[in-house]
Amino acid sequence: MAGALVVVVMVVVVVVAAAALPAIDVTTVAFEEGYTPLFGFDNILRSGDDRTVSLLLDRSTGSGFISSSMYQHGFFSASIKLPSDYTAGVVVAFYTSNGDVFEKRHDELDFEFLGNIRGKPWRVQTNVYGNGSVSRGREERYVLPFDPTTEFHRYSILWTRAAVVFFVDDVPVREVRRSPAMAGDFPSKPMSLYATVWDASTWATSGGRYRVNYRHGPFVASFTDLALVGCRVDPIQMLSSGASGECAAAEGALLASDLAVMTLEKQQAMRRFRENNMVYSYCYDARRYPVPFPECDVVDSERRRFKNSGHLRLAFRRRRRPRPGSRPAKPTSAADM
């Protein structure tokens, strides 16, 4: 199995124009071909063709699934539709991790979708952890330029030895390039792909102010267009034998593919997304990190938009037609999003 290239493949502030970017073309698979249930088995519903799976959170439990294999680098993707209405305290996660194998020095790459009270949007957080570096959180948070509850949207993670890139609907929204200064903080060990929905009432919405209200449940997150592209490995065998070179051919093919080439058009689309939708960045969080991380590309014009806490200075509610005699909507803190 080792060494084989396997394809198991804000309120709306501004709508980001992404039509100029070509769609990412990867082979998708049925659930049985690449995944297995992880927990909450009775809350996992699979479609008749086995290409769509829904995860439920109710009073009894959340639910989740995991890839059948671990991968040394790759491209991991799914189209996801999130729960609607009141979703405070609910977290839907799509991520790679090896925490089950390397408990104290695990690697992790996250999309975390954070629910909200009625009338406020879902927020999306990306995380990058390497070698157990959870105390040095590299979190960024965004609002989406669409309603993620009405239809499916694609979220993807590209992980190579050179960089990590997060995509939303095939638009790159974050790139973390490996540098010598990052050392072991860059994810380097084989990881599995996970998808989960769970109760995170203690922190997910306004720092735990709003909790999951199960009268609005069950909360259903649906996944389709499942894709896994990468080199399947046995992590213990690979690390003990030094056989990481067995994935060299697969890694080279991935690095040479269109997926990994950051064209000028991709860079421009990423900059537009971040300018219009990013509401928190660890790179501007001077309270937690007085010295920016080595991979942070600090832009003075961008930095002025953020507080020392890393949060956007102002974010505005969705504009509505004012009633006669009413006052304009007041700006709200991005931290409350």
Q: Which residues have a catalytic role annotated? A: 108, 112
DSSP string, 217-264: --EEEEEEEEEEEEEEE-HHHHHHHTGGGGGHHHHHHHHHSGGG---H
Instruction: Tell me how far apart the alpha carbons of residues 285 and 79 are, in angstroms, rounded to a whole number.
Output: 31
Residue 125: beta bridge partners? 112, 141
Closest Cα to residue 16, out of 286, 273, 299, 292? 273
Instruction: Tell me how far apart the alpha carbons of residues 73 and 230 are, in angstroms, rounded to a whole number.
Output: 6
DSSP H stretches of helix in 14-148? 31-34
Instruction: Tell me how far apart the alpha carbons of residues 228 and 70 are, in angstroms, rounded to a whole number.
Output: 10
Closest Cα to residue 75, out of 35, 107, 28, 42? 28
Tokens of 334: 């991005």
Task: Give the angle 300-303-304 at the CA atoms, nearest 5°.
Answer: 90
Task: Give the angle 267-269-271 at the CA atoms, nearest 5°.
Answer: 70
Q: Is 149 exposed, middle or buried (0-12, 13-18, 19+ CB in 10 A)?
A: middle
Question: Residues with Cβ < 8 Å from 325, sequence gap 6 or more?
Answer: none
Instruction: Tell me how far apart the alpha carbons of residues 178 and 157 are, in angstroms, rounded to a whole number.
Output: 15
Tokens of 52: 């769509």
